[in-house]
Structure 1
Amino acid sequence: MPDQLREDMRDRRRASGLPWSTFAREAGFAAPYLRNVENGNRKITPEVVAAYDRVLHTGGTFAAELAATPAAGAKETAWNRDGGIAVLTDLVNGSNVDRRSFLTSGIALSLSAANWEKAIPTGSPLPSPSDDPAQLARIEGRLDDLRRLDDELGSGEVHRLARGELHYTVTLIKTGRYSGTSLDRLFSMAAEAARQVAWSAFDQGRPGTAQRYFDGSLRASAIAGDPLSGAYALSFAAIQCYSTPHQAQRAVSLLETAREKVKHTATPRMEAMLAARTARALSKAGEGKACARQLAIARAALDRGVHDDDPKTLYWVDYGEIEMIAGSSALQLGDPDEALRCFEAAMGAAYPGDDEYPRSHAIYLARAAEAHLARHDLDAAVASAWHAARCLGVVDSARSASELASLRSLLAAHTGHRGVREFLEIG
């Protein structure tokens, strides 16, 4: 972690554009001393990270990262089967992973990803069906149902139900009745159940809880030798990172880790999903050209078609979803015209937002409304806002509600428009 912190500090200082002499003067340290800190020749101290946070206006990010670094000799739950079962048991019993209090979930997610990367071999095969598939198939079927429920109704009820599935799966693991490929499959299912709990917690505005369950998901994935489930979990953890101020580059790193571990086993659909999520993270970091390259990779991957061995979790990855992500990225990068072109392309690809994905569609429609607003087309902005509100009417999602609340704040400056007034009053 100290090496990662040094890199983060160096990257942020360089991005500021401040000359070394100016930065050192404002930080209150000699430039050679700070160079040695960044190069690893000097110890990182609380005083130095506080100076970096102050000069670079990072809101205490570096201080939190240093605080989250385990002290020398501190005991951490091992990334092996016994350690993973202990962590999963703590989760289902309501305890905290590793008994640590992470100050910034993005930092904690980076730690988990780094440990997962070491614990799981590259190119491991997905656990194969066992000789006793009936009970395990029922669990897999319920997890699939929960994914659809999350799409259609939001995360509120899914959080409780997914925790129940995780509890059940961990209980079966601990009975000792299963071994070999059956046990591997159980750990893979525990990874997916924990991911669902993590994602629903994040969607409900609980990032600390989400981080702990993402950690549990990655541990279960490593025990199963199933990099695909871990990569899938990291792709959702990346959303949590890039949705947090100053954490977009962490999201890119999480996705790079995921892509490296599945590069020999990922189907084109998986490649498309990871590339699109990387593009979105890069848009948050303001890297337009790199974002465009990743979107091109995602579209080209989808052009290669679906495969029989596509993971069931990727049912939602299609041209419509990729274009919605492209539109969101364009809006983030300040190009409302391109954003609207992508949103329209998504609808042209028969994106089934209203019927199958109302939670996500509400978010995309709010962004489309923002793009129309940037083009001073208030009529179109209000129409998209009403559509978003209708989608959100049946969804329990703090994240979607927050997106619509932000749109309402933007519209509040245009109350001279009758449609805007009516939407703000009753929409």
Structure 2
Amino acid sequence: MGSAALPAQKGSTSVDRRVFMADGIGVAAGLSLPHPPGPAGPPGGIGAVGTTHLLALRAHLSSLFQLDNAFGGGDVRSLAVRHLRRVRRIINTGQYPDTIGRQLQLLAGETAEHCGWLYYDADEQDNARRYWGEALTTATMLRDTNLEILVFSSMSLQACHEGRARDGLELARAAQERATHLGSPVLQSLIAVREARALSLMANGTDAKRRLSAALQLVDRQDRGRPCPEWADFHGHAELDYAHGLLYTDLGNHRAATRFLSAALAHQEASYGRNRALYRITLALALVNAGEVDEAAAHAVGSLEALEEVESGRVMRRLTTVTKSLQAVDARSARAAAEELTEYRLAKEAA
């Protein structure tokens, strides 16, 4: 999922960023359904639905994945919600055989899950839960293992984010049990990382390290077994480095954390703009904790240019944490960086 990002000018406004996104959004919105052949359906219906329609709808969902990777969930979620409404309308007003109907229902579930993810990234957790509940209902109704794995793994992240690490571990294990039967090493690796995150938050560093070791071995076997689903394309060595960085942060070994977080930033592709911004801000926080204040301040301020292109509540929350950490340090570079970060955050909130 590689939506390339153009460089933004430092100091551009939120409106400038939305204009910057216009080309990508235009691609997503332009993937309209072909005019359906055949007899008309009920009043307001779209008539006969076939494979061509499904391909167009799936292409639209793929474009939403790409926009999210590049820009975060803030602005993309409204597009995803509208896409879900479109799919629901087609399900309820179109004419199609049962085979097409099942694929439409599955697409609705996958789109609902992505809406949940986008609200999670925007840090609106109640809305995320609502859409994930809808997606899980669809997965259960269709008995679709892939969708169950996707929902459980996403809900695991949310549980950890909200301080419910035990729930996060059980959800990740439920996803892993299903993924093991599918035989996709990359997918199993991704879920092992989420198991490790929950374990580290439970202060079980030994088992967390064991799961990360397994995740590394699995991702190196990606040429075997089934390919991973599209939503898991982002997973690779950058994500594993980031997971190790978080683990060592939880364990209090901040110097080790900075090495892994630096590697994660170096390995992450430019098309994943939101993750690059998150990685750099997390690296700045680890550097503060490691006593490398000047380098931390430089990374924190350097992240602002990338943030002009990103709208993510999770990233902004991390930026606030870094700002507070820098404010607590008695160093000129830290104070100057904290002032600039605060000014940026207030301007973004006011925009």
TM-score, normalised by the number of residues in structure 2: 0.78
SS at match of 2:180: coil
Conservation of the 8 A alpha-carbon contact between 1:331 and 1:367: no
Query: In structure 2, what is the equivalent of residue 218 of structure 1?
Result: 136
- Per-residue CA deviation, residues 34-68 of structure 1 (Å, 9 max, x unaligned), is xxxxxxxxxxxxxxxxxxxxxxxxxxxxxxxxxxx
- Per-residue CA deviation, residues 349-384 of structure 1 (Å, 9 max, x unaligned), is x311xx222222222222211221122111111122
Alignment of 1:15-414 (within 5 A): 132-175=50-93, 177-245=95-163, 247-306=164-223, 309-347=227-265, 350-352=267-269, 355-414=270-329
Following superposition, the deviation at residue 329 of structure 1 comes to 2.1
- 1:193–1:356 distance in 2 versus 1, CA, 3 Å: same
Query: In structure 2, what is the equivalent of residue 418 of structure 1?
Result: 332
Following superposition, the deviation at residue 182 of structure 1 comes to 2.1
- Per-residue CA deviation, residues 83-110 of structure 1 (Å, 9 max, x unaligned), is xxxxxxxxxxxxxxxxxxxxxxxxxxxx
Residue type of the partner of 1:324?
Y
Give me the whole-angstrom Cα distance separating, in 2, the residues matched to 1:157 and 1:371: 29
Following superposition, the deviation at residue 347 of structure 1 comes to 4.2
- Per-residue CA deviation, residues 298-356 of structure 1 (Å, 9 max, x unaligned), is 111111024663211121011111211221222122121221222233345x311xx22
Query: In structure 1, what is the equivalent of residue 345 of structure 2?
Result: none
Conservation of the 8 A alpha-carbon contact between 1:269 and 1:306: no
Give me the whole-angstrom Cα distance separating, in 2, the residues matched to 1:281 and 1:384: 27
- Per-residue CA deviation, residues 146-201 of structure 1 (Å, 9 max, x unaligned), is 11111111212221111111111122222362344322222221122111111122
SS at match of 2:182: coil
Conservation of the 8 A alpha-carbon contact between 2:277 and 2:303: yes
Conservation of the 8 A alpha-carbon contact between 2:185 and 2:221: yes
Give me the whole-angstrom Cα distance separating, in 1, the residues matched to 2:207 and 2:302: 32
Give me the whole-angstrom Cα distance separating, in 1, the residues matched to 2:50 and 2:183: 26
Query: In structure 2, what is the equivalent of residue 9 of structure 1?
Result: none
Conservation of the 8 A alpha-carbon contact between 2:264 and 2:279: no
Following superposition, the deviation at residue 237 of structure 1 comes to 1.3
Residue type of the partner of 1:396?
E
Count the aligned residue pairs.
292
Residue type of the partner of 1:155?
G
Residue type of the partner of 1:142?
H
Give me the whole-angstrom Cα distance separating, in 2, the residues matched to 1:309 and 1:371: 34
Conservation of the 8 A alpha-carbon contact between 1:328 and 1:364: no
Which range is displaced more, 266-275 or 164-173?
Answer: 164-173
Give me the whole-angstrom Cα distance separating, in 2, the residues matched to 1:241 and 1:278: 12
Residue type of the partner of 2:69?
D
Conservation of the 8 A alpha-carbon contact between 1:184 and 1:223: no
Give me the whole-angstrom Cα distance separating, in 2, the residues matched to 1:309 and 1:424: 44
- Per-residue CA deviation, residues 362-412 of structure 1 (Å, 9 max, x unaligned), is 222222112211221111111221232222222111111010001100110
SS at match of 1:394: coil
**Max Rg structure:** 1
Query: In structure 2, what is the equivalent of residue 11 of structure 1?
Result: none
Following superposition, the deviation at residue 212 of structure 1 comes to 1.0
- Per-residue CA deviation, residues 90-142 of structure 1 (Å, 9 max, x unaligned), is xxxxxxxxxxxxxxxxxxxxxxxxxxxxxxxxxxxxxxxxx942111111111
Conservation of the 8 A alpha-carbon contact between 1:328 and 1:339: yes
Give me the whole-angstrom Cα distance separating, in 2, the residues matched to 1:407 and 1:309: 38
Residue type of the partner of 1:189?
L
Percent of residue pairs bearing the same amino acid type:
26
Residue type of the partner of 2:300?
A
- 1:252–1:335 distance in 2 versus 1, CA, 3 Å: same
Give me the whole-angstrom Cα distance separating, in 2, the residues matched to 1:176 and 1:368: 50
* Structure 1 spans left out of the alignment, 5+ residues: 1-130
Residue type of the partner of 1:275?
A
Give me the whole-angstrom Cα distance separating, in 1, the residues matched to 2:263 and 2:123: 31
SS at match of 2:95: coil
Task: Note the aligned Cα RMSD (angstroms).
Answer: 1.9
- 1:202–1:347 distance in 2 versus 1, CA, 3 Å: closer
